[in-house]
Amino acid sequence: MLRVVVEGCQWGDEGKGKITDFLAQQADVVVRFQGGNNAGHTIVFNGQKYALRLIPSGIFNSNIKNVLANGMVINPKALIDELDSLKKRGLKSYQLFISDRAQVVMPYHIDIDGAYEEMLAEQKIGTTKRGISPAYCDKASRIGIRMGDLVNPTYFAQRLKTALIIKNKELASFGLKEYSFESLYNEYLNIGEKLKKYICDTSIMLNNEINNNSKILFEGAQGAMLCMDHGTYPFVTASSPTASSVPLNAGISPKYIDGVVGICKAYTTRVGEGPFATEICDDIAQQIREKGNEYGTVTKRPRRIGWLDLVVLKHSIRVSGIDNLAITLLDVLEGIDDIKLCYSYNFDGKEIDYIPSTIDDYNKCLPNYITLKGWKEDISNIKKFEDLPKEAQNYLRKIEEITKVNIAMFSVGADRNQTIVLKKIFK
Q: Which of 34, 202, 242, 297 binds ligand GDP (CB under 6 A)?
A: 297
Collapsing DSSP to helix, strand or coil, 82 comes out as helix
99, 98, 385, 120: which is closest to 273 by C-alpha? 120
Site for Mg ion in 28-47 (CB under 5 A): 40
Question: Which residues lie closer than 8 Å to 259 by C-beta, 6 or more apart?
Answer: 1, 3, 4, 5, 323, 324, 425
Q: Are 180 and 108 in contact (CB under 8 A)?
A: no
Catalytic residue among 21, 28, 41, 230: 41
Examine the residue annotation and report whether 387 is marked as an active-site residue of this protein.
Answer: no
Q: Does 130 bind ligand IMO (CB under 6 A)?
A: yes
Q: Distance from first CA to last CA of the chain, Å, rounded?
A: 6
Q: Which is nearer to ligand IMO, 297 or 320 (CB)?
A: 297
Question: Which residues lie closer than 8 Å to 343 by C-beta, 6 or more apart?
Answer: 310, 311, 353, 368, 369, 370, 402
Q: Which is nearer to ligand IMO, 2 or 298 (CB)?
A: 298
CB of 8 to Mg ion, least distance (A): 8
State how far the alpha carbon of 390 is from the alpha carbons of 9, 292, 372, 379, in Å: 25, 22, 11, 12
DSSP state of 264: E
Q: Does 13 bind Mg ion (CB under 5 A)?
A: yes
Residue span binding ligand GDP (CB under 6 A) among the ranges 41-49, 150-158, 168-176, 246-254: 41-49
Q: Does 8 bind ligand IMO (CB under 6 A)?
A: yes
Q: Which is nearer to ligand GDP, 202 or 328 (CB)?
A: 328
Q: Does 15 bind ligand GDP (CB under 6 A)?
A: yes
State how far the alpha carbon of 253 is from the alpha carbons of 29, 127, 319, in Å: 17, 32, 18
Q: Does 128 bind ligand IMO (CB under 6 A)?
A: yes
Q: Which of 19, 23, 32, 40 binds ligand IMO (CB under 6 A)?
A: 40
Q: Which is nearer to ligand IMO, 57 or 418 (CB)?
A: 57
Among ligand GDP, Mg ion, ligand IMO, none, residue 237 binds (CB under 5-8 Å by kind): ligand IMO
166, 29, 198: which is closest to 98 by C-alpha? 198
| Cα atoms found within 13 Å of the Cα of residue 274, Cβ hemisphere only | 22
Angstrom distance (rounded) from CA 180 to CA 192: 18
CB of 38 to Mg ion, least distance (A): 9
Examine the residue annotation and report whether 13 is marked as an active-site residue of this protein.
Answer: yes
Q: Does 127 bind ligand IMO (CB under 6 A)?
A: yes
CB of 80 to Mg ion, least distance (A): 21
Q: Which of 34, 37, 38, 42 binds ligand GDP (CB under 6 A)?
A: 42
Angstrom distance (rounded) from CA 29 to CA 45: 19
Residue nearest to ligand IMO (CB): 272
In the complex, which residues of this chain contact Mg ion (CB under 5 A)? 13, 40, 297
Q: Which residues are catalytic?
A: 13, 41
Contacts with ligand IMO by CB under 6 A lie at 8, 11-13, 38-41, 125-128, 130, 132-133, 221-223, 226, 237-238, 271-272, 297
